[in-house]
C-alpha cells in the first residue's frame, strides 16, 4: 500500500518544485498599495550582477520619484563598450536632485536567464515626511541639495555564489545581490555574509554621507565536518524567488 503512494508523492513533489520556480506575479503586476507601503518593480537585463542591481534600483527609484513627487526625469542612454552584459545601459538624470528616498527597501528579487527584477517597498510615512520637507521654506526655494542633509550612504553587495544571507551588525537585511539604500547610520558597521556549506565572511565598513560602498565577495566552501547540531539555517539555499516581507 505504501509503495502505491510513492508515484503520487513523486508527482506532487515535482509539481511543487516546478511551481516554486515559476515567476512571481509581481514581475508583471506590481502589488497594490497597502496600509503602510507603495510598491515598485525595477527591471534590468544582463549577466553582471553588480550592474543589474544598480540598473534595477535606478529604474524603481525613478518610478517612485515621479509617482510621489511629480519630479520630471530624463533618461539618457549611455554606451558601455567594456561591459558585456548590456550594449546600452540607462542612467537616470534627475532634474530635481533634492529628493530623500528614506524608507525605500528591497523586498524580493527574481532572475530568469538575463532578465532581472527587484521588488521595492516605499514607506507611506516616509513619503509624507519627504513631501512636508519639500514644502518647507527651510529648503530655500529648492536650492538645498539633499546631499547636504542626507547623512547615510549606500552599500551594494554582490557574492559568488548568490543567495547569501546579509547581516549588518547582526540584523538580517536580506539576500544577495542587494543594495542597502540609505538605511545605515554614519560610522562603523560589520557586514556578515552566511550561506550553508560555505565559510561565513565578515567585512567591516565605514559609512560616510552619500558614499556608495561596493562589496564583492567569493565565499569558499566549508570543509567537510560533522553535521551541525543547530538546524536553524540563517544562510541556507534560497530559491531564485526571494521573499523578504
For domain 151-226, the question of CATH label 2.60.40.1120 is answered with yes
**Phi and psi of 199, rounded to 5°?**
-75, 130
Distance between CA atoms of 188 and 182, rounded to whole angstroms?
15
Q: How confident is the model at residue 17 (pLDDT cuts 50, 70, 90)?
A: very low
User: Is the per-residue pLDDT at 19 higher than 60?
Assistant: no
Distance between CA atoms of 87 and 78, rounded to whole angstroms?
9
User: Tens of pLDDT along 106-119?
Assistant: 999 999 888 999 99
Q: How confident is the model at residue 227 (pLDDT cuts 50, 70, 90)?
A: low
Range with top average pLDDT, 44-48, 144-148, 229-233, 235-239 = 44-48
Sheet containing strand 178-184, strands side by side: 178-184, 153-160, 212-218
Average pLDDT for 4-13: 44
Q: Where are the alpha helices (DSSP H) in 1-136?
A: 2-20, 49-69, 124-135
Q: Where are the domains of the chain?
A: 26-149, 151-226
User: Is the per-residue pLDDT at 216 higher than 70?
Assistant: yes
Q: What is the pLDDT of residue 239?
A: 47
Q: How confident is the model at residue 162 (pLDDT cuts 50, 70, 90)?
A: confident
Average pLDDT for 205-232: 78
Average pLDDT for 143-161: 68
Q: What is the pLDDT of residue 90?
A: 34
Please give the DSSP secondary-structure letter assigned to residue 193: E
Q: How confident is the model at residue 8 (pLDDT cuts 50, 70, 90)?
A: very low
DSSP E strands, 57-114: 73-79, 88-94, 104-112
Who's near 73: CB < 8 A, 6+ residues apart?
A: 62, 65, 66, 92, 93, 94, 95
Give whole-number Cα distances, 204 to 91, 155, 233, in Å: 30, 12, 23
Q: How confident is the model at residue 77 (pLDDT cuts 50, 70, 90)?
A: very low
Read off the pTM.
0.63
Amino acid at each position: 500500500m505504501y509503495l502505491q503512494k510513492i508515484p503520487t508523492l513523486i508527482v506532487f513533489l515535482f509539481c511543487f518544485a516546478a511551481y516554486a520556480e515559476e515567476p512571481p506575479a509581481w514581475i508583471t503586476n506590481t502589488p497594490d498599495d497597502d496600509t503602510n507601503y507603495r510598491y515598485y518593480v525595477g527591471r534590468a537585463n544582463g549577466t553582471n550582477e553588480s550592474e543589474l542591481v544598480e540598473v534595477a534600483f535606478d529604474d524603481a527609484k525613478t518610478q517612485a520619484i515621479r509617482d510621489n513627487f511629480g519630479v520630471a526625469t530624463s533618461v539618457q542612454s549611455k554606451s558601455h563598450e567594456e561591459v558585456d552584459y548590456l550594449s546600452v545601459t540607462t542612467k537616470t538624470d534627475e532634474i530635481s536632485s533634492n529628493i530623500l528616498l528614506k524608507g525605500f527597501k528591497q523586498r524580493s528579487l527574481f532572475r530568469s536567464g538575463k532578465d532581472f527584477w527587484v521588488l521595492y517597498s516605499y514607506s507611506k510615512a516616509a513619503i509624507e515626511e519627504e513631501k512636508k520637507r519639500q514644502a518647507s521654506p527651510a529648503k530655500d526655494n529648492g536650492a538645498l541639495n539633499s546631499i547636504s542633509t542626507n547623512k547615510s550612504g549606500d552599500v551594494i553587495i554582490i557574492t559568488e555564489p548568490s543567495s547569501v544571507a546579509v547581516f549588518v551588525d547582526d540584523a538580517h537585511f536580506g539576500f544577495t545581490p542587494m543594495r542597502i539604500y540609505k538605511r545605515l547610520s554614519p560610522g562603523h558597521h560589520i557586514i556578515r555574509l552566511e550561506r550553508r556549506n560555505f565559510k561565513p565572511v565578515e567585512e567591516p565598513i565605514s559609512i560616510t554621507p552619500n558614499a556608495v560602498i561596493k562589496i564583492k565577495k567569493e565565499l569558499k566552501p566549508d570543509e567537510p565536518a560533522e553535521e551541525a547540531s543547530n538546524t536553524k539555517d540563517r544562510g541556507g539555499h534560497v530559491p531564485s524567488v526571494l521573499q523578504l516581507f
